[in-house]
Amino acid sequence: MSKTLGVVLSWRSLSNERQIEYPAPILNRPCPFMFTGLIETLADVVAIDDQPPGKRITVAAPAFCSDDGTPGASIGDSIAINGCCLTVVEIEAERFSFEAGEETLQRTNLGQLHPGESRVNLERALAVGDRLGGHYVTGHVDAIGKLTQRTDDPPWSHLKFSIPGQYIHQIVAKGSITVDGISLTVVDVGDADDAYFTVALIPHTLAATTLGHCIVGDTVNLETDILAKYVQRSLQQRGN
């Protein structure tokens, strides 16, 4: 007779004690549209096919496959590509295909990808029970930013990005921001008249993500911290 192990959560309030038991299978379920900003692998863009009004993007991600070739993702799974949450629609060996709509292509840098030339950052959706090493990332890109300055001080690099002014109040020094899907700590931040932020990249980030080869003028997908959005919204409501 088999027994399924689960997790029991309990807490005590002033008046009573409550307990909820979750079955084991929930531990491996992905959290829809939730990521950490810790890139799992770089992938080469191998094909982009027209699928009006959008496109189908295919990437090669051998790191997502086990030694025997079994893919580490399934059709229907959510994967962040350069920080943009897309759904896996086809898997062929180590190749994973996604569909990007017209608005996604216009509002992110995915519309600027070129097969055989571009590489992208990939992260699978966070599963219940996984460690959260970065910060909460939704995979919903807020804006496209641009690298305006790069200072390399081997083995480190310091990067400065521009950002549309309406998002600057959602960024704070020592806070978190997602750049092309990468969870980074803000070093310095400008204001509405000079909207920018800077980050310092460690050698691992430079080697394991697309930012290692990012040059001045390149565009990046930006997502501000979800907590900052709620705080700003709350303050706006109070002001009204």
Tell me the DSSP string of 122-187.
EEEPPBTT----S--B-S---EEEEEEEEEEETTEEEEEEE--GGGGGG--TT-EEEETTEEEEEE
> 79: pLDDT confidence band, cut at 50, 70 and 90?
very high
- pLDDT for 33: 56
- pLDDT for 177: 98
* pLDDT of 85 over the 70 cut: yes
Rounded to an integer, the average pLDDT of 103-122 is 97
Pick the CATH number of 41-124 from 3.30.559.10, 3.40.1670.10, 1.10.510.10, 2.40.30.20: 2.40.30.20
Domains 41-124 and 143-239 share a fold: yes
CATH dotted code for 143-239: 2.40.30.20
The pLDDT tens digits of the residues spanning 152-205 come to 999 999 999 999 999 999 999 999 999 999 999 999 999 999 999 999 999 999
Residue ranges of domains in the chain: 41-124, 143-239
- pLDDT for 146: 98
DSSP annotation of 126: P
pTM: 0.84
